A and B are shown apart, each in its own frame.
Chain A
Amino acid sequence: MTARYLIIGSGVAGLAAAEAIRQADRSAAITLVSDDPHGYYSRPGLAYLLTGEIPQAQLFPLRETDWRALGLQRVTAQVTRLEPAAHRAVLADGRALSYDRLLLATGSTAARLTVPGSDLPQVVTLDSLTDAQRILDLARRARAAVVVGGGITALELVEGLRVHCRRVHYLLRGDRYWSNVLDAAESRLVLERLAAEGVQVHPRSEIAEITAHRGRVAGVTTTAGEHIPCDLVAVAIGVQPRVGLARAAGLQVERGILVDETLRTGAADIYAAGDAAQVYDPRTGKATLDTLWNIARGQGAVAGRNMAGANERYIKPLPLNVTRLAGITTTIIGRVGHGLDADVVGIARGDSETWRQLGEALVAEDASEVNRLRLLVGPRTLIGAIVMGDQRPSRPLQRLIGEETDITPIRERLLAPHAPLAALLAEFAESLNRQNALS
Chain B
Amino acid sequence: MDPTLIGQGLLSGLLFGGVYSLMAVGLTLIFGVMRVVNFAHGDMMVWGMYLAWMLSTRLGVDPYLGFGLCAAALFLLGWAIQRGLVHRIVDAPHEMQILLMLGVALVLENAALVAFGPDPQRVRSPLTAATVWLGPIFVDVARLVTFGLALALTLALWFFLARTDLGQRIRAAADNPYGALVIGTDVGRVYAAAFGIGAACVGAAGALVSPILPFQPAGGLSLSVASFNIVIIGGMGSLVGAFAGGLLVSVAESLGAVFLAPSMKELVSFSLLIVILLFRPAGLFGKRGT
The answer to whether A binds B is no
Chain B interface (Cβ < 8 Å from any Cβ of A) = none
Chain A interface (Cβ < 8 Å from any Cβ of B) = none
